[in-house]
């Protein structure tokens, strides 16, 4: 069984308890305008340029058999993505690693081998493996096979999900993991469609069903000023979550601009938006808002 990922991150400490191995699945049915992992949205591999590393030598341009690469008057490399076949010739030609193909196919065995290297750190810290992305549930067969294999080896497994998946898939896979990290962004359906491209009805229904099963849940709330930090959204979220008894904690994740350079490198600036990060005062106010309503709140994580 194979799937497509865009990264394997060792020694992760923000996506579940302890030290973890994060498996970043490629492809997501949502298109959040603030996405900090834009390389995880498309389901296929993509060519990424790193202009800050580029020597502007032209080696990559000369290596391209399809005419997909060129240089402007300043020597900056440009990509005509409709011509690119992702053959990898330009990647091999570049001596400064200024071009890479984001996304690769891996097997369950590949990921298990990496997890086994980290086993001592998992045992000492109470960590394990987190399936994240992108959206792991958008590759359900691979995700399920990976979860099953990891659990058979005794690894703790967490699933980081938007909750946007067919109910049968969602129910089956979440039942098999130790912890669900559930991203909750906006309560109003129209605003959710505006900023993520999809309705939130399936997401909220899946979260309610998951909570009724008693599964351990950490809700993750990305805080984006002008998008979801208003009083109406915060009140609606607090009211909704108050009835979900298996939600163990609420993680407030302040927006940062880490994804901006990434979507520029992918040539996809027009697909995303740039927001201003929340002030320290605003983040603390939101943390206090939920804490005062009885939630176990953590900034980040």
Q: How many helices and strands in the chain, by DSSP H and E? A: 11, 13
Q: Give yes or no: residues 111 and 134 share one domain.
A: yes
Q: Give yes or no: residues 277 and 175 share one domain.
A: yes
Structure tokens at 50: 């790193």
- Per-residue pLDDT tens digits for 118-139: 999 999 999 999 999 999 999 9
CATH number assigned to the domain comprising residue 82: 3.30.70.20
Residue 266 predicted with pLDDT over 90: yes
**177/66 Cα distance (integer angstroms):** 45
Q: Give yes or no: residues 63 and 118 share one domain.
A: no
Residue range(s) defining the domain that contains residue 152: 2-43+103-299
Domain boundary among 85, 101, 117: 101
Q: Give yes or no: residues 225 and 287 share one domain.
A: yes
The model's pTM:
0.93
**Under 8 Å between Cβ of 99 and 88:** no
**Under 8 Å between Cβ of 114 and 9:** no
- Name the band, by pLDDT with cuts 50, 70 and 90, for residue 260: very high
Q: What is the mean pLDDT of residues 223-244?
A: 96
**85/91 Cα distance (integer angstroms):** 12
- Per-residue pLDDT tens digits for 35-44: 999 999 999 9
Q: What is the mean pLDDT of residues 174-196?
A: 98
Q: Give yes or no: residues 29 and 70 share one domain.
A: no
Please write down the long-range contacts of 191-194, taking CB distance under 8 Å and 24 or more positions apart.
191/227, 191/228, 191/233
Q: Give yes or no: residues 247 and 291 share one domain.
A: yes
CATH number assigned to the domain comprising residue 185: 3.20.20.70
Domain boundary among 101, 136, 171: 101
Q: What is the mean pLDDT of residues 199-208?
A: 98
Q: Give yes or no: residues 68 and 111 share one domain.
A: no
- Per-residue pLDDT tens digits for 54-90: 999 999 999 999 999 999 999 999 999 999 999 999 9
DSSP percent split of the chain into helix, strand, coil, nearest 5: 35, 25, 40
pLDDT score recorded for residue 279: 96
Residue 301 predicted with pLDDT over 80: no
Q: Give yes or no: residues 76 and 161 share one domain.
A: no
CA torsion 173-37-15-243 (nearest 10°) is -60
Q: Give yes or no: residues 153 and 221 share one domain.
A: yes
**Under 8 Å between Cβ of 285 and 228:** no
Q: Give yes or no: residues 35 and 54 share one domain.
A: no
Distance of CA 124 to the CA centre of its chain: 26
The DSSP output letter for 66 is S
Query: Beta strand pairing status for 217-223 and 179-183?
Result: parallel
pLDDT score recorded for residue 14: 87
% of the chain surpassing 90 pLDDT = 97
**277/223 Cα distance (integer angstroms):** 8
Instruction: Please give the mean pLDDT across all residues of the chain.
Output: 96
pLDDT score recorded for residue 300: 86
Q: Give yes or no: residues 210 and 245 share one domain.
A: yes
The Cα-based distances of 17 to 40, 180, 181, 233 in angstroms read 23, 11, 11, 28
Domain boundary among 57, 81, 101: 101
The count of domains in the chain is: 2
Q: Give yes or no: residues 82 and 159 share one domain.
A: no
């Amino acid at each position: 069984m194979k799937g497509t990922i865009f990264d394997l991150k060792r020694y992760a400490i923000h996506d579940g308890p302890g030290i973890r191995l994060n498996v970043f699945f490629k492809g997501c049915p949502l298109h959040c305008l603030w996405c900090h992992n834009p390389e995880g949205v498309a389901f296929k591999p993509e060519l990424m340029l790193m202009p800050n590393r580029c020597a502007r030598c032209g080696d990559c341009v000369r290596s391209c058999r399809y005419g997909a690469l060129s240089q402007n008057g300043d020597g900056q490399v440009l990509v005509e993505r409709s011509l690119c076949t992702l053959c990898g010739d330009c990647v091999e030609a570049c001596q400064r690693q200024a071009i890479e193909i984001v996304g690769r196919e891996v097997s369950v065995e590949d990921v298990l081998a990496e997890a086994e290297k980290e086993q001592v750190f998992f045992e000492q810290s109470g960590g394990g493996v987190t399936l994240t992305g992108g959206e792991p549930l958008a590759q359900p067969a691979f995700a399920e096979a990976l979860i099953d294999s990891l659990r058979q080896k005794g690894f703790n497994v967490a699933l980081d999900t938007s909750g946007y998946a067919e109910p049968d898939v969602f129910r089956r896979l979440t039942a098999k993991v130790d912890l669900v990290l559930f991203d909750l962004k906006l309560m109003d359906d129209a605003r959710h469609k505006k900023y993520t491209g999809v309705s939130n009805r399936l997401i909220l229904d899946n979260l309610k069903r998951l909570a009724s099963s008693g599964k351990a849940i950490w809700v993750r709330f990305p805080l984006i000023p002008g998008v979801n930090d208003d009083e109406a959204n915060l009140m609606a979220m607090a009211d909704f979550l108050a009835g979900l008894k298996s939600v163990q904690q609420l993680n407030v994740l302040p927006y940062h601009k880490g994804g901006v350079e990434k979507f520029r490198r992918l040539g996809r600036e027009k697909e995303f938006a740039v927001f201003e990060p929340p002030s320290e005062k605003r983040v603390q106010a939101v943390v206090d808002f939920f804490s005062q309503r009885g939630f176990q709140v953590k900034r980040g994580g």
